[in-house]
Structure 1
Amino acid sequence: MVEQVNFGNLIKNARTRAKVPVVIVASAFGAESIRRDGHAAWVEVAAKAGAAGFEVRRELFSNKTQSQPASLYELGQRIRAGGMWPVYSTPAMLFDDTGALDECAMEQTLDEAAALGARIVKFQLGGSESTGTATDSVTLDRLIAGVRNSKAQVVVENGQLKAGGTIDAFSALFEALETRAHTLAMTFDTGNWQWAQQDPLEAARRLAKYVGYVHCKAVEGEDGRCFATAPAIDDSYFTALLAYLPAHVPRGIEFPFDQASLASDAARYVKQLASA
């Protein structure tokens, strides 16, 4: 049974926190805009909004050259010139649909993140819906060795499907890693749990200690017809959810800005999330 939540105490605690770094996820400006104009076209807008970081989305590259080392390096330089640091997000699964570690996907993604000069590199967890991910000693050794030399913080995100989107799958993996020295962390997406029919507050209680990055969004709709939206400034549920999570880790804006007021929306939400 899920325990009762004292929203008042959680919100009070959240308001005592120091400001945290906020990342603007490129898709917040509109997926089609990024595909059409490229990520670099939106770096200045993100910088002027006060973002600490800018998240590059691999699935929004419009051609293969954009994922090549030279192009990634140039984009990373552009982001740093704006006073921000790059985050690299990929739809690649760390584990394949049988639950086995996908070492090829891991190596390719880490090479691309290195070319970008990313501070954080984000995978989807993946794995099997029924059995989750492999947690045997050999797999864990390979996983730890694979991410050990990455200069970027490697994180795995809860997705919108049951495969790679359940609380138990993340709990099983990170509990298996607890007795080993490793650098893997979790991206906690506040909205994706609802797509996978999981309780976000239960997820936060069980997984908070593993979280290294938070993707922020609210969700509207139901029965598989959900869509991401901005959390309301007085959304006590969202504030309570953030209060469970580490106060110092970066928060990414992953909800769409109003296309009629992109710059002002970006600045407003950066400020709001930095002190939420």
Structure 2
Amino acid sequence: MNSIIIPLNAFETTGFQHTMIGKIHEQQVHGVEIRRELMKKVDQEIELIAEELKKYPLFTVYSAPIELWRENGELNTQELKAILEEAVSLGAQWVKVSLGFYQPQSPIADLQQLLEAFPALRLFVENDQTSHGGNIASLHAFFDNAYEVPVSMTFDIGNWLYVHEQPQEAIKKLRSFVGYIHIKHVIKNSGKLVTTAISNGSNEMWKDILKGFSHSTFKALEFPIDEPEQVPGFISLVQAAEQEEVQ
């Protein structure tokens, strides 16, 4: 079993996310990332997904598009608590959110207290595509101050480009906090940044970035995938890139 996780926003599905779980399991991946932003009827869909997940030994990440810290620097307590409760209902092991407006005076103790009520979950904070939640300095300050809190970082390879940050600098400053990597290839098309599937191209940045992390770090393939049957081929690309590093 590898450490590859498949986020369900990789597929353009017309049905609910629960219909993809069995198909993902067939591809011999480690886990699945459930996306809250794809849900139209949250309670109903969480119940369907949870029932489906019970059928398969898949590690589960619950990704929610909320910000950890509000604009005034306070903890986004109400939304975060709701997301953590939903994650428990799903049977997820990890929860992924964005940083938000972290400030030096933000109450880390409030976050620690809230997470103590959810001991089975680990919180992950991702660098997103906003100037406040995707900059290296703010992320480093947060993780540096939250050393006693069960929180790790999701390192999204492509998102750095949206906020004009340097991925290699991010690796230097944030490597020790990272427990999860979102792999993607980002190109400029008609003046806009667009996420595309990875390939064996020698100039693709994701390959160089993976060299900065342990092979055992959990990785997600977060880019457009036409069919689940393509997943093993993409996993082989990642494994080949890691093998190149060893040689």
* Distance change >3 Å, CA 246–CA 76, structure 1 → 2: farther
Structure 1 residue 185, shift from structure 2 partner:
0.6
Per-residue deviation, 1:266: 1.7
Q: Provide Cα deviations, 1:129-172, integer angstroms capped at 9, x if missing partner.
A: xxxx1333x70111111223421211011101102010011011
Q: Percent identity?
A: 26
Q: Report what 1:265 is aligned to.
A: 230
Bigger relative contact order, structure 1 or 2 (CA pairs below 8 A, ≥6 apart): 1
Does 1:174 find its partner at 2:143?
Answer: yes
- Classify the secondary structure of the residue corresponding to 1:220: strand
The residue number in structure 1 matching 2:37 is 59
The AA in structure 2 aligned to 1:205 is K
Give 1:22's aligned residue. Answer: 4
Which residue of 190, 201, 208 maps to 2:157? 190
> Is the 2:183–2:206 Cα contact (8 Å) retained in structure 1?
no
| Cα distance in structure 2, aligned partners of 1:107 and 1:73 | 18
Question: Gaps spanning 5+ residues in structure 1: where?
Answer: 1-18, 128-132
Q: Which amino acid aligns with 1:243?
A: K
Q: Secondary structure, in 3 states, of the residue corresponding to 1:226?
A: strand
Higher fraction of helix: 1
Which residue number corresponds to residue 239 of structure 1? Answer: 207
Aligned letter for 2:173? Answer: R
Deviation at residue 73 of structure 1 after TM alignment: 4.6
Aligned counterparts, 1:97-112, within 5 A:
97-112=71-86
CA distance in 2, matches of 1:80, 1:267: 23
- Residue 87 (structure 2) aligns with: 113
Counterparts of 1:40-51 in structure 2, within 5 Å, are 40-51=18-29
RMSD: 2.0
1:238 is displaced (CA, Å) by: 1.9
Could you say if the C-alpha distance between residues 135 and 77 of structure 1 is closer, same or farther in structure 2, counting changes exceeding 3 Å?
farther
Larger strand fraction of residues: 2
Matched residue, 2:100: 126
Query: Contact between 1:213 and 1:250, CA under 8 Å: does it hold in 2?
Result: yes
Distance 1:101 1:148 in 2: 15
Contact conserved, 1:97 with 1:126, CA < 8 A, in 2?
yes
Where does structure 2 lack aligned partners over 5 or more consecutive residues? 243-247
TM-score after normalising by structure 1: 0.80
> How many residues are treated as equivalent by the alignment?
239
